[in-house]
Amino acid sequence: MGRLFSLSPCSFLIRISIFACLQVIVVVNGGTTNLTPPSFTPINHDLYHSSGNLMEEIKGLVHRHPNKLTMDTIKAGNKGYGAEISVVTYSRERRERDERSKFRILLSFGQHGRELITTELALRILSILSEEKFLPNIDPASLNSTLDKLVIKVVPMENLNGRKLVEAGDLCERRNGRGVDLNRNWSVDWGKKEKDYDPYEENPGTAPFSEPETQMMRKLAISFDPHVWLNVHSGMEALFMPYDHKNTTPDGLPSHQMKLLLEEVNHLHCQKRCMIGSGGGSVGYLAHGTATDYMYDIVRVPMAFTFEIYGDGTASSKDCFKMFNPTDLSTFNRVLNEWSAAFFTIFKLGPYQLGEINSKMSVSNLDKWVSIDDYLNGYLMERRNRYGKKMEVLELGMQEIRTYFRLFLLSSVLLMFMFCSRISKGKSTRQIVSAIPL
């Protein structure tokens, strides 16, 4: 998210023209001999860690708090391109067998290289989880009781290769180390291009999951099977839920619960400034092949979100560091304080909201027909939860099983109907008519 050209074409052209005029004025006033290049804000190294330092800080936290944090590094590659992703797991009782019974949350930061503030937020959240930093106005006892029920996996920097390009001076780079947008490389509605498609921004890759980073994230999500997925970006202030590839939200109670949760976060932590709704419906453009749509539709994460935590709409379109990241200390601190508090609200309310969904679903299922799709999804989800990593096979087979099941049901109904009509021969037409609605 946080696409560079999210303005309407008209206002974008007006901005470009104003910017060009200002440049001319500057040049005229300053004399024609001394052409100064347009001033773009450089990375503020007093506020921001380099990728190397940030990961070192995180390793330090893990090292100092082995009772709460563990870290794994995953590597993958193809066609001469390699990538690695570090995953930090927070669990107060680090017993593997407890993981499945707890409420599971998966957070990803830094999927786009230029959005440095998101990776700083990852570090802040991990510092609070390890109790080296604290949230104001939060009672430690209630925080601990919330955290006892959770396993949180944090990917602090999903796109390390892209981030290194940004640090080397390409401040507008959002794609990975070989020019693919990692938030367009997933399989839901992959590869569809809008009229204003710009490969510099949104290159989806040669195929769904062509990129090692996306492959690793998919594996992680499928094996962890989270209840909450949160993809953290910057470029604007928004709380998005599915879908990104169409301008509607999903139907039903889970979608309603997601919206309620976002409204609460907006009220408590965003002073109601944040845009809320489907990514595709709210942001002004559709995004195809995004991580959040995949998490919701395929991994069946009941609460899947994309948060946009900061944006400077006044920054010129090429001044990417300023557009996507706070540049002064007070804004930097405000963003980290507000959003880390927002995450802890999610940690607290998420399990409660999901409980609401489950209890209401089970009550309503008693007095209404369950659709075949719901029944099968429920059945396959059960199996998936039990066997964890078998998901991919089930995912492929799901469509076929549904089709066979429908055919089977249809033929059974027909047979029953034929059977009943034979039995009813000789009886009055009225009796047959009264039997049809049953």
- The catalytic residues are 308
Which one of the spans 52-60, 96-104, 145-153, 227-235 is the region binding Zn ion (CB under 5 A)? 227-235
Cβ distance to Zn ion smaller for residue 2 or 326: 2
Cβ distance to Zn ion smaller for residue 116 or 150: 116
Which one of the spans 105-113, 130-138, 195-203, 209-217 is the region binding Zn ion (CB under 5 A)? 105-113
Cβ distance to Zn ion smaller for residue 227 or 245: 245
Helix axes 329-366, 116-129, angle to 10 degrees: 70
Cβ distance to Zn ion smaller for residue 184 or 227: 184
Q: Which two tokens stand for residue 277?
A: 């709704």
Q: Which residues contact 201 (CB under 8 A, 6 or more apart)?
A: 3, 4, 5, 174, 181
Q: Please report how close the Cβ of residue 166 comes to Zn ion at its closest, in angstroms.
A: 12
Instruction: Detail the DSSP E strand segments found in 207-348.
Output: 228-233, 236-241, 275-278, 303-310
DSSP string, 232-256: EE-SEEEEEES-SSSSSPPPSHHHH
Q: Which residues contact 63 (CB under 8 A, 6 or more apart)?
A: none
Backbone angles phi, psi at 106, to 5 degrees: -120, 125
Interaction residues for Zn ion, span 145-174 (CB under 5 A): none
Q: Which two tokens stand for residue 82?
A: 């390699």
Instruction: Note whether 233 binds Zn ion by CB under 5 A.
Output: yes
Cβ distance to Zn ion smaller for residue 61 or 295: 295
Instruction: Note whether 1 binds Zn ion by CB under 5 A.
Output: yes
Q: 3-state class of 193 per DSSP?
A: coil
Q: Please report how close the Cβ of residue 237 comes to Zn ion at its closest, in angstroms.
A: 13
Q: 3-state class of 81 per DSSP?
A: strand
Helix axes 160-167, 116-129, angle to 10 degrees: 120
How many residues form the binding site for Zn ion (CB under 5 A)? 4
Q: Please report how close the Cβ of residue 308 comes to Zn ion at its closest, in angstroms.
A: 7
Q: Please report how close the Cβ of residue 241 comes to Zn ion at its closest, in angstroms.
A: 16
Question: Rounded to a whole number, what is the largest CA-CA distance in the chain?
Answer: 107
Q: Which two tokens stand for residue 147?
A: 């955290």
Decide: 182 and 214 in contact? Cβ < 8 Å: yes
Q: Please report how close the Cβ of residue 238 comes to Zn ion at its closest, in angstroms.
A: 11
Cβ distance to Zn ion smaller for residue 2 or 204: 2
Instruction: Note whether 2 binds Zn ion by CB under 5 A.
Output: yes
Task: Say which DSSP state 179 is in.
Answer: S
Which one of the spans 104-112, 154-162, 250-258, 378-386 is the region binding Zn ion (CB under 5 A)? 104-112
Which one of the spans 24-32, 228-236, 374-382, 409-417 is the region binding Zn ion (CB under 5 A)? 228-236
Closest CA to 233 of 340, 324, 337: 324
Distance between CA atoms of 99 and 344, rounded to whole angstroms? Answer: 19
Distance between CA atoms of 357 and 349, rounded to whole angstroms? Answer: 13
Interaction residues for Zn ion, span 258-297 (CB under 5 A): none
Distance between CA atoms of 115 and 194, rounded to whole angstroms? Answer: 23
Instruction: Note whether 184 binds Zn ion by CB under 5 A.
Output: no
Distance between CA atoms of 162 and 221, rounded to whole angstroms? Answer: 21
Q: Please report how close the Cβ of residue 114 comes to Zn ion at its closest, in angstroms.
A: 8
Cβ distance to Zn ion smaller for residue 91 or 214: 214
Type of residue numbered 294: Y
- In the list 68, 104, 112, 163, the residue contacting Zn ion (rule: CB under 5 A) is 112
Q: Please report how close the Cβ of residue 256 comes to Zn ion at its closest, in angstroms.
A: 27
Which one of the spans 2-10, 44-52, 238-246, 355-363 is the region binding Zn ion (CB under 5 A)? 2-10
Instruction: Note whether 350 binds Zn ion by CB under 5 A.
Output: no
Question: Interface with Zn ion by CB under 5 A: which residues?
Answer: 1-2, 112, 233
